[in-house]
Amino acid sequence: MRAHLLPLLLLAVTSCTASLDLDRFRKEEAKTSTNVVASVTYIDFRFIARSMLPHVGEDMELRLVDKANTVQGKAVYANVNRTEFKIECPKFVPKSGGPFRVDFWADHNFSGKYDGIVGGINDKDHAWRRELVEPYPEDVQIVDGGFVLNFLHDTAFVDIFTDLEGNAISGEEELLPFQLSLKGIEAYTEKSIEVRVADKGSGRLVGLHRRSVVRAPYVAEVTGVLDSQTPYEVSVFVDADANDEYGPGDPSWKVELVSSEIGIVADLDLATAAQAPLGDVR
């Protein structure tokens, strides 16, 4: 794979930290040898949002959370610019190891972090929860073998820093961050760009970052989604037709990056990197 990367910070590590020993992808039972997946499969997830006027101009985040309250993946939509949109997350939900839930929130007070749902209307964030378990919530469906959440904005908020019984849980990140600085984006100014991060061994999406209107500088950052010493395939595409999904006319790039003890911190110059089709992804 040919790609031209600006200086890339990928530090070698000698061991995984104890906090990452979460069996997040059930690697011991899923892999028969390095980067060979034996039996684990993953399910697509699609988030469709409507009537989102209260959150235009804000950032939103979706979290896939397991029964142990561990975040298994995230999708970040920076600077929502429409009242209706969708986010496609292919191969996002593990078929085993459930049940899972989707916790999602909007940064309504523009603090840059989740601050809970207590306080004045503009002093708190708005947050919601949907469990991906039968009987499914009325706005969750299985379509073509994947989960679809059709979310009509409401004010039935749920504190995502609580478990399913309402007990407080830690909101501290247990995994490592992903950060990609995109250079050479002048040709795509005012377009939407999406960055996807998938585990190279399994193909599972662990992180997604979309920026609604791209202006330099653009840094795609998703915290708490990476393991150390793990190869990832990073896909980038420009949503040229503004349909919220990758299509054959969208400029796209792919690079392979390996995480370190600090996760991934990298640069990618779209003006000089060779374009590459993303393959069979939504």
Query: Of 104, 189, 176, 180, which is closest to residue 140 (Cα–Cα)?
Result: 104
Single-letter amino acid, residue 88: E
pLDDT attached to residue 248: 86
Looking at the chain, which runs of residues are DSSP E strands? 31-33, 36-37, 42-50, 60-65, 71-78, 85-94, 100-106, 126-132, 140-143, 146-152, 176-183, 192-199, 205-211, 218-226, 231-239, 252-258, 264-269
135 by Cβ neighbours in 10 Å (0-12 / 13-18 / 19+) ranks as: exposed
pLDDT attached to residue 150: 98
Please give the structure tokens belonging to residue 115: 């601050």
Per-residue pLDDT tens digits for 243-278:
999 998 999 999 999 999 999 999 999 999 999 999
Per-residue pLDDT tens digits for 123-151:
899 999 999 999 999 999 999 999 999 99
Sign of the torsion formed by the C-alpha atoms of 165, 135, 65 and 50: negative
Residue with tokens 């994947």: 146
**pLDDT > 70: percent of the chain:** 85
Please give the structure tokens belonging to residue 16: 């995984």
Q: Tell me which residues of the chain have a pLDDT lower than 70.
A: 1-40, 280-282
Question: Bridge partners of 206?
Answer: none
pTM confidence score: 0.85
Single-letter amino acid, residue 18: A
The alpha carbon of 261 is separated from its chain's Cα centroid by a whole number of angstroms, namely: 20
Contact (Cβ atoms closer than 8 angstroms) between residue 194 and residue 210: yes
